[in-house]
Structure 1
Amino acid sequence: MSYPTLCRTPLNVMTQPLALWLFLAVFCGPIASTAQAQAKILIVNSDSTVQKYQQVKDAFKVQMTPHAGRIIDFDVQQAGQPELLEKLIKDESPDLIYSIGSQAYQLATQFGGTKPVLFSSVINWQRFQRGGNSYGVANELSLSQELSLLRYVLPNLQRIGVIYDPHFSAERIADARNQCRELGLTLVEQTIDEDHPLEQHLDGLLDKIDVLWLIADPGVLADRATVEKIFTGSSEHKKPVYTYSDVFMNYGASLVVAADTPTMGRQAANMALAILQREPIKETVQTPAGSHITLNACQLGKLKKDYNADALDAVNQLLECH
């Protein structure tokens, strides 16, 4: 009888001889830990020059290194040729592929075959087809969290405007409609595409809303000039911007609720361990476990908008005028 077979055999504590229990204690633990320690993990990073990608990768590696036999890095941008990833996967045959960013995830699923693929930092992951071997940590907090926090911090702003490209964000906006309905908020939507650019719709949308909700939509946030146009227009119309990254504080965002990047990396590592140990995973795509809230009280003052002072206990960073 092989050791792994014996270790999986259900035993009755009252009927098994002491010698057998000693055997299990000596051999079964090392077998499980050895199998885990020999695991080979391939990290596919869309672009290591992107700070948030590097942060999530570093946190993942710190958490994962004591539990893995070998961790291999592949940077899509530095490699230049995606086909090199296909060769690497064939040559190394990793036990698990961890992809960071949308491009890395697409390539990992394309070349990974049946190997488990874990992802994070993927904008609107719902738009990608997922197989039974796909797991991940969502890039965005749950819509319930995002919209509830918006209403809690800025309770007087009821009409929420959102601009999106249906190619990237149709699923997320469909969920947002339901959440807004439950919270008593009004979602005012504006779609854009190649035939209907942002410039045609921005002023009209801003006239109808109390606050602009800027989501992580690559079709909307195409370049720096577009971002500047959105914030300039919002300021001119005296409408605060609620968004998902502290990067936008430099442009004049009023409220940011962001997923905590290092926590996301540690969360992905915990999922990786569960996958390697073949433990059941209830949620194959998990909501980020940590968040960071920044309130720009100075910007809200300039726009003559109030915030809920009782909500300050939930705020991680408060920006005031100096």
Structure 2
Amino acid sequence: MRRYGWLCLLWVVLPLVATAQQARPRVVAVKSAALAPYAAVVAGFGAEVHAEVVEVTLEESKQAAERAFQRIAAQKPALVLALGPLAANTARRALGPDVPVLFAMVPYYEKYGLEGPNITGIALTSDFRPELAALKSLSPSVKRVGILHDPRFSAGLVEAAQSAAGTLGLSIVPLEADGQAKAEKVLAGSKDKVDALLMVADKTVGNAAVVQQLIAFASAQRLPLVGLTPSQVREGATLALAPSPTAIGQQAGRLANRIIHEKVDPGALAVSQPEGLDLAVNLSAAGKLGGSKDVVLELLRFAARRDFPVRVFE
């Protein structure tokens, strides 16, 4: 009889378990391309989100992307995670108000008009507080931080940096340039007027040629240069704090849980600052600042206090 009772219990419970599994929300993670950072975001996302995750990789054409999103819309997923500009922009246009959109890995997201009803995301750049704090740890004597930028694209970024700098006793020196030739002249004119340089995500000054100008100028003047990416640190920038793709995915998973399970309207959520940052430091560039190994040691202590993973280049 006891065995018969267990069988009856299983007969009742197993269908309930199957039903619960079938009812699990379905999320579609759409990647703009088959890139390793996008895959890392999806891995982090899957570890946090309470949902079934299906991956879609877009072909590199707007027409193919539109067709893919028409198929996705017909499936009515609980949420779409859009990775990269192609996926984010197509999702905004093609999905109706019934499918929430969460974007990530979109440089210059502001220019795409991605803020609005039923859509939110995670920015690729921070509010400059971590970068300026790291700079202060590396070079406590720094007071004037120059930002080479094109005011047509990054006036708002300079204002954000000025707001963050004030709390650290720093001042921002705007260095305006509307082209590559102008950038070289502006940098030359900033000699003895700045104690450090901070890169911003700017279409004009973010190209490879101007980045090389910044690195060469900072090296010649023995100025710390805060870059945007580990690759720029490898090339000669002193340090950079860059979002970790896996950490962005985990952050996106937590946001998705709020949207799916707590029924929070994505449009009511501001675009989030990236929470997980990796610190990259160039030992050779830091050594040219006139300090000793203690300079880098202080930077490593800063990273340890903030729990930032560290990558070191020579």
Correspondent of 2:300 among 312, 316, 322? 312
One-letter amino acid of the structure 2 residue matched with residue 89 of structure 1: I
Native 8 Å contact 2:145 2:195 kept in 1: yes
Distance (Å, rounded) in 2 between the aligned partners of 1:197 and 1:88: 48
Distance (Å, rounded) in 2 between the aligned partners of 1:273 and 1:32: 20
Structure 1 residue 272 corresponds to structure 2 residue 260: no
User: Greater CA deviation, 245-254 or 211-220?
Assistant: 211-220
Distance (Å, rounded) in 1 between the aligned partners of 2:256 and 2:232: 32
Which residue number in structure 1 is paired with residue 174 of structure 2? 189
Cα displacement (A) at 1:138:
2.2
Which residue number in structure 1 is paired with residue 278 of structure 2? 292
Distance (Å, rounded) in 2 between the aligned partners of 1:280 and 1:30: 27
SS at match of 1:274: helix
Cα displacement (A) at 1:262:
0.7
Native 8 Å contact 1:221 1:227 kept in 2: yes
Distance (Å, rounded) in 1 between the aligned partners of 2:121 and 2:136: 28
Among the aligned pairs, what percent are the same residue?
25
Distance (Å, rounded) in 2 between the aligned partners of 1:313 and 1:219: 34
Unaligned runs of 5+ in 2: 1-12, 304-308
Q: Summarize the Cα distance change of 1:207–1:57 in structure 2 as closer, same or farther, 3 Å threshold.
A: farther
One-letter amino acid of the structure 2 residue matched with residue 117 of structure 1: V
Q: Summarize the Cα distance change of 1:253–1:196 in structure 2 as closer, same or farther, 3 Å threshold.
A: closer
Which residue number in structure 2 is paired with residue 56 of structure 1? 41
Cα displacement (A) at 1:185:
0.9
Counterparts of residues 215-254 of structure 1 (less than 5 Å): 215-222=200-207, 224-254=208-238
Per-residue displacement from partner, 1:63-100 (whole Å, max 9, x unpaired)?
A: 44x621x5141325377744334433343333211111
Correspondent of 1:131 among 92, 116, 121? 116
Which residue number in structure 2 is paired with residue 43 of structure 1? 29
One-letter amino acid of the structure 1 residue matched with residue 106 of structure 2: V
Structure 1 residue 121 corresponds to structure 2 residue 114: no
One-letter amino acid of the structure 2 residue matched with residue 122 of structure 1: V
TM-score, normalised to structure 2's length? 0.78
Distance (Å, rounded) in 2 between the aligned partners of 1:95 and 1:207: 56
Which residue number in structure 1 is paired with residue 75 of structure 2? 92
User: Greater CA deviation, 165-174 or 310-319?
Assistant: 310-319
TM-score, normalised to structure 1's length? 0.76
Per-residue displacement from partner, 1:207-234 (whole Å, max 9, x unpaired)?
A: 5211111122233222x33332321232
One-letter amino acid of the structure 2 residue matched with residue 313 of structure 1: R
Unaligned runs of 5+ in 1: 1-25
Per-residue displacement from partner, 1:101-153 (whole Å, max 9, x unpaired)?
A: 23322222122231211011222434443112112222123332322232233
